[in-house]
Amino acid sequence: MPCLRQAVSFFILIVLGAFPAFATPAPRLTPEQQQWVAQGNRHDRDGWVYLRITGEPRARGFQYGYLLAREIDASLHEVRRQWEYESGMSWDWLLTEGGRLLEGKVDQELLAEIGGIAEGLAAAGVRTTREEMLVYNANIELTGYWWPEVKDSIGARSPDRPKMGCSSFIATGSWTKDGGIVLGHNTMSGYVEADCNIILDIVPARGHRILMQGVPGWIHSGTDFFITDAGLVGSETTIGGFSGFDASGIPEFVRMRRAMQDASSIDTWCAIMTQGNNGGYANAWLIGDVKTNEIARLELGLKHVGFERTKDGYYVGSNLVENRQILRLETDIRETDIRISDVARRVRWKQLMKEHRGKIDVELGKAFEADHYDTYLQQTRLGSRSLCAHWEYDTTDPTSAPFDPSGTVDAKVVDTRMAKEMKFAARWGSACGTPFDARLFLAQHPQFDWMDGLLRSRGEHAWTVFTAGEK
């Protein structure tokens, strides 16, 4: 098929022309690899990178690694430097110890997909291994949950930057405008690691299609906003102040991906997440089934689990767990200290839900996620305690350094109608549109000079709708 071969070759030249110079020259693709790449699709829009990967595990992994090589290479560089700065340990040490921990805990399908990603990266000239990509996929739970548990044995102390946080809501029944589900979520993280601008459309050979927000090179989501062709929608907010980890359990990134790909109901989704739970990346999950308009909240600690469900109500997430046992026995947060962002945002969510009962829709969801009201100071301001958070402007948060470059880096929203069409609305950058100038920030705050070369500016982007299968 000479026409197809010529078209693929031309496509490859275009893709490689967009890549920077990598550590090694990119080898020529084999005919099989050319066919794999031709089955994928990548395009950039409004600050996001849309990537569709299809087929068997190795093939879709190759598409992923090859078409997203530039972004994965940059993200790997950031993760390596951040780990070494914050822990004082080498990246090679983490690869060795993390690899031992993960051995035998990742199923063959996901191992093949991750191996395919490493192959695709190698074909684009990026040096890595399947073993490094495994540890990279488990980065959140290794650095934030496993490492604090083992640090005392080597005389170290854990990184002191806060774990990733989010704001999210899900509502249904008499609380929404049309009685269906409305789900909204924005990601809060340090700006160095704010590279979650991937819209990943996964069409596996077996299991459900997934449309989710993601991080370059991760087979799960990380920010955990997704819809599937089983009619499930979901998001999460990290449980703040949490401690505990079971090294014998199944990694969170494995359970999360398996739940999205394999589950057809809320019950099955939650069962997959709960079985073998290792306590890594402990989250409160907001899940909906648009076939029934039922919603649920699964709060997954290590020793305790909270679960609620309804067809008429709402659940919110602000990194403050609601389950009393998890709150008292597995976290160190006081739910009445409104100076803390988690508590202040929880109060604000409940205010907004009650104020807009019966009117909640996609447009209100967008407005909620961009909200700047501080319930502690009782004023609208750019700061750390609002649903659209801006720690870089704040000196009043007792849990973080003044002017910490972190906050809200995106916003997403979906309703029942959109989910049935496998689409959702998303905005990259601050949920309110406020831009971030990395060069100016570092000039004004030289205490963060270790971030030079890692911290990136983000402009103002528009809301856009992404749909599974788009070209």
Which CA distances in Å does 1 have to 8, 30, 264? 11, 15, 40
Model confidence band, residue 27 (pLDDT cutoffs 50, 70, 90):
confident
pLDDT in tens, 366-413: 999 999 999 999 999 999 999 999 999 999 998 889 999 999 999 999
Least confident of 5-14, 110-119, 221-230, 373-382: 5-14
- CA neighbor of 196 nearest in space, from 222, 220, 166: 222
Q: Indicate the SS3 state at residue 213.
A: strand
Alpha-carbon distance of 296 to 315, in angstroms, equals: 8
Asked if 196 and 189 touch (Cβ cutoff 8 Å), the reply is yes
Alpha-carbon distance of 414 to 170, in angstroms, equals: 10
**pLDDT higher than threshold 80 for residue 164:** no
Alpha-carbon distance of 264 to 5, in angstroms, equals: 39
Model confidence band, residue 72 (pLDDT cutoffs 50, 70, 90):
very high
Alpha-carbon distance of 460 to 471, in angstroms, equals: 24
In order of start, what are the domains of the chain with their CATH numbers? 2-44+54-154 (no CATH), 165-466 (3.60.60.20)
What torsion, rounded to 10 degrees, do the Cα atoms 309, 311, 312, 316 define?
A: 40
Predicted pLDDT of residue 6: 32
Predicted pLDDT of residue 151: 86
| DSSP strand pairing (48-55 vs 198-204) | parallel
- Residue 440 CB partners (closer than 8 Å, separation 6+): none
The sign of the CA dihedral 338, 342, 345, 351 is negative
Least confident of 7-16, 205-214, 338-347: 7-16
Alpha-carbon distance of 422 to 201, in angstroms, equals: 10
Predicted pLDDT of residue 399: 87
| Average model confidence (pLDDT) across the chain | 93
Model confidence band, residue 1 (pLDDT cutoffs 50, 70, 90):
very low
Predicted pLDDT of residue 8: 35
Alpha-carbon distance of 119 to 315, in angstroms, equals: 41
Q: CA angle, 210 as apex, 206 and 212 as ends, to 5°?
A: 155
Least confident of 86-90, 108-112, 262-266: 86-90
Alpha-carbon distance of 134 to 131, in angstroms, equals: 5
At residue 449, what are phi and psi to the nearest 5 degrees?
-65, -15
Burial track 143-166 (b if 16+ CB lie within 10 A, e otherwise): bbbbbbeeeeeeeeebbebbbbbb
**pLDDT higher than threshold 50 for residue 212:** yes
**pLDDT higher than threshold 70 for residue 237:** yes
Q: Which residue has better confidence, 398 or 305?
A: 305
**pLDDT higher than threshold 90 for residue 13:** no
**pLDDT higher than threshold 80 for residue 36:** yes
Section 204-225 average pLDDT:
97
**pLDDT higher than threshold 60 for residue 51:** yes
Section 274-289 average pLDDT:
97
Residue found under tokens 């200290």: 337
pLDDT in tens, 422-450: 999 999 999 999 999 999 999 999 999 99
Predicted pLDDT of residue 163: 52
Polymer length in residues for the chain: 471
Predicted pLDDT of residue 14: 37
pLDDT in tens, 259-275: 999 999 999 999 999 99
